[in-house]
């Protein structure tokens, strides 16, 4: 149930963000450039095989500890 509550909270937050920005854009006399407003994702550096292995080990260690405290 906690997961569903977090999802509902996240969705409500996203809706508030959307409504706020929609209202702000409606009041604007000139709209910003679409590309600048939306933004483009920046190219990320590819991880090396060693970095990938390290991240996999971290995730494995993290997942091993989940649920043991409950």
pTM of the entire predicted model: 0.45
Cβ–Cβ under 8 Å, residues 55 and 62: no
What's the pLDDT tens digit per position in 45-68?
Answer: 999 999 999 999 999 999 987 766
Residues 6 or more apart whose CB falls under 8 angstroms from that of 31 comprise 25, 37
What's the pLDDT tens digit per position in 16-41?
Answer: 999 998 999 899 899 888 888 778 87
* C-alpha distances in Å from residue 9, one per residue of 1, 13, 21, 69: 12, 6, 19, 24
Nearest C-alpha neighbor of 24 from the set 39, 11, 37, 8: 37
pLDDT of residue 12: 93
pLDDT of residue 39: 81
pLDDT of residue 67: 65
């Amino acid at each position: 149930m906690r997961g569903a509550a977090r999802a509902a909270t996240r969705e409500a937050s996203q809706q508030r963000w959307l409504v706020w920005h929609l209202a702000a854009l409606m009041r604007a006399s000139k709209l910003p450039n679409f590309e600048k407003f939306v933004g483009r994702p920046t190219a990320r550096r590819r991880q090396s095989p060693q970095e990938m292995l390290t991240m996999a080990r971290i995730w494995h260690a993290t997942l091993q500890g989940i649920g043991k405290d409950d």
